[in-house]
Amino acid sequence: MRIGRTLPPAAAPIKLADIISGVRGLVRGEREIRRFEAELTADFNVNHCFLLSSGKAALTIVLKALHRQNPHKNEVIIPAYTCYSVPSAICRAGLKIRLCDIDPATLDFDFNCLEEVLSDKASAVSENRVLAVIPTHLFGVPSDVKRTREITAEHGVLMIEDAAQAMGGELQGQRLGTFGDAGFFSLGRGKAFSTVEGGIILTDNSILAKQIQGAIDNIPDYRLFEILKLFVYSVALNVFMHPAFFWLPKSLPFLKLGETVFEISFPLKKMSSLQAGLARNWQVRLKQLAHARRHGSRLLRAALEINETDEKKKGYKLFQQLEEQETLLRFPVRIVNDELLRQIVLKGNQKGLGIMRGYPDAIHRIDALKEYFKNTSYPGAVHVARTLITLPVHVFVSLGNFKEIMALMINPRQS
């Protein structure tokens, strides 16, 4: 167990001033929630915004609303490697998961595969049962949502943009989260911006917005005890997210930090005024956090690109850039040599560098879902699950930390 300065893999700090704003928001009540909604609507230049208890709650509500509009459609196409919250939300909404393999070089859809899935005459697609396609900006890496949008439009399928990990990012001058029929963000711990937990839905579709509002009207608010828990959690994050103290919660196994779990019993709630209050001054804070992550990403890419060409010696591959000014949540790298991967993760953990594996496996290999994907193969997703690690780029990563991370990546046996 490491005792001492330890970097979290991702961090969006909650400061004391933010907690005070949260308490004031709690006093203001509904006005605080409306204020946050209005700011988001104006800043992202969309017609409708909705606030929920989590990103997966937001996705679940969108899917329920879409299904209410299109009751004969019940299938949702997602990448075969993505955050487990995405398939869990689909199941929570009572819908069926369809998988599309990914391109390991981009972490995006394999677009040839996407065309095949949407044109599969042997499946329910021929019966026009696909409700939506969900491209994902995994770790903040911009997905080619314009290309996905073109493909889905050709097939008359809606697109929900998973920007859960990409709030504050852009693609060709347009804000991520605004390309689809609907988009959503997560405000959970370790996301681009945090209110302890929370979710945001954006849409310009007024008919869909009406259905979303109807679905939200039927879910509960946070209870007083639950709001108190959020407050206590915000205070804990204020202290223990800092590298000087992060080693303590990381060392406690019952907290299960970094553990990825597939579950469909998560709550659906409206965002509380405490969370809306915690988001006060979010535009300035989000820009500051994004600036730090862009700077960190540029440092890592510049150093690692120089050595990437000697793959046999270095053993890693970087993802292809779609957007030069990338605003990553975590910097993903594929370690193509199994022994080097083991060494980098082990030594990174020993040094407290915040280096972490990606999601543990492809979606079709999740125990609770295996039976639905028998005799299927998604080699790109399996390869990424086996080889991917992420490097921290957040505001707590010092120049000295970056130098240690670069040295470990370039010469893992000597670090």
Catalytic residue numbers read 191
Class of residue 271 by CB neighbours under 10 A (exposed 0-12, middle 13-18, buried 19+): buried
Pull the structure tokens for residue 125.
């697609």
Q: Which long-range contacts (CB under 8 A, 24 or more apart) does 60-63 make?
A: 60/89, 60/92, 60/93, 60/268, 61/201, 61/212, 61/215, 61/216, 61/219, 61/268, 62/160, 62/182, 62/184, 62/201, 62/203, 62/208, 62/212, 63/89, 63/90, 63/93, 63/95, 63/131, 63/132, 63/160
- Left (φ > 0), alpha (ψ -120 to 50) or beta: where does 400 sit? alpha
**Do the Cβ atoms of 90 and 308 come closer than 8 Å?**
no
Q: What is the CA radius of gyration of the chain?
A: 21
Bridge partners, 81 (sequence order): none
| CA separation for the pair 243, 250 (Å, rounded) | 11
- What is the rounded (10 degree) CA torsion for 345, 350, 353, 359? 30
Pull the structure tokens for residue 413.
């046996």
- Give the chain's largest Cα–Cα span: 60
% helix / strand / coil in the chain, to the nearest 5? 45, 15, 40
Give the count of beta carbons closer than 10 Å to the beta carbon of residue 364: 21
Bridge partners, 132 (sequence order): 76, 158
The residue among 322, 364, 357, 352 whose CA lies nearest residue 341 is 357
Pull the structure tokens for residue 153.
């439009």
Pull the structure tokens for residue 173.
């001058």
